[in-house]
Structure 1
Amino acid sequence: MNKNKRMAIAHETLDININSLTMKYDNNWLIAKYQSKEKIKFIFFWGHKPSADGSVTQSCFSQWWHAPFTVDGITYKTAEHWMMAGKARLFNDDVTLQKILLVNTPDEAKKLGRQVKNFDAAAWDTNKFDLVVNGNLHKFSQHPALKTFLLNTHDRILVEASPMDRIWGIGMAASNEHVENPLQWRGHNLLGYALMVVRDQLK
């Protein structure tokens, strides 16, 4: 799938290239459902803090949630570590890759990801969605409790209600009065849609 999208959202134009073989869901798909008056059930998430009683909550959907998983003998502390490591691999930056694998926190991994050499925005846009899908497929398949929680969301729309992220989130908080109207969203919700693809693959 190769799309160049220019989306008008909440009176603001956002430019983004989305190129993915697995991107089954996107804002256009959701807006069509919304405009058809179909009843839509949402699950909003943002943040990665565990619950006080240790139960699994929507926080597990965060890229920063601590749920180490191993792929080809390499352990990734969070899905954010996986994503940033994949970014370094994509641009053949082995030095930064090794640093990402060694740091403990997702914040450190993200900061290192911004330092990847030979970065090309078009190549990143082509690969980033599939990269996040694959990382979360490993994460949720290797943690049964997380997998069960994800599958129990059934066909609900998963939404990263981050007021700060307009790519992976919707650019508004769950408390916003327009949060259930995708026509008003200020972002693309790529993480929410990636998790929905993972959910489909785990069924």
Structure 2
Amino acid sequence: MIVDGPDIVVPPDNRILYFGRDRDRFRFLSHFHPSPIVIDGEDWPTVEHYYQAQKSANPDYKAAIRAAIRPGLAKRLAAPPSAPRRISQNSWFRKNDQQPRPDWHDVKLDIMRRADLAKFTQNADLTVLLLATGDAELVEDSPDEPFWGTGPDGAGFNWAGRVVMEVRARLRGNGPLQRG
């Protein structure tokens, strides 16, 4: 089915699996997509950089995340020190004997909502692309991420996709972003 707007072709099942299956055409939905945002007067190269930077108020930590040349590096720097060594070996927290903010799990969803809203309102080209997805279900089909994606069994929460769908609805004037 072809949706009005740019050349966006939504798959026949009306689901956009933007981590794996449909990555090439819908990469712009990813938090790793290069889409500069400004929040509270601070510039961030991607949503992922901003999101990871919110794990601590330490200015040295935030500077390290902002300076990460790729969003994947920002994510690795932000790994909790308690994570398995293979995940936390490059963690800024581990290297600096620090801990992420204690309320992280309580606030992370609203932080992502704020970042995605900034991404799709501050980058007009991405606004057009997102709206062109119509009413398709947006799914981060990441097998490694059961909270933000679908997880190894496909039954994850898909909060990444759900938040972007909330932003899309808000851009259409269909309501506010939800609360955690």
Instruction: Give the TM-score, by structure 1 length.
Output: 0.64
Give the alignment partner of residue 74 of structure 2, picking from 101, 109, 131. 109
Written as runs of structure 1 = structure 2, the 5 A alignment for 1:1-203 is 41-46=14-19, 57-88=25-56, 92-114=57-79, 115-116=92-93, 117-119=98-100, 123-172=103-152, 185-203=154-172
Deviation of 1:120 (Å):
5.2
Deviation of 1:73 (Å):
2.7
Instruction: Give the TM-score, by structure 2 length.
Output: 0.71
Gaps of 5+ in 2: 1-12, 80-91, 173-180
Q: Which fold has the larger relative contact order, with Cα–Cα distance below 8 Å and residues 6 or more apart in sequence?
A: 1
Deviation of 1:143 (Å):
1.1
CA contact (8 A) 2:143 2:154 kept: no
CA contact (8 A) 1:46 1:162 kept: yes
Aligned-residue identity in percent? 30
Aligned residues: 143
Higher strand share: 1
Gaps of 5+ in 1: 1-39, 52-56, 173-183
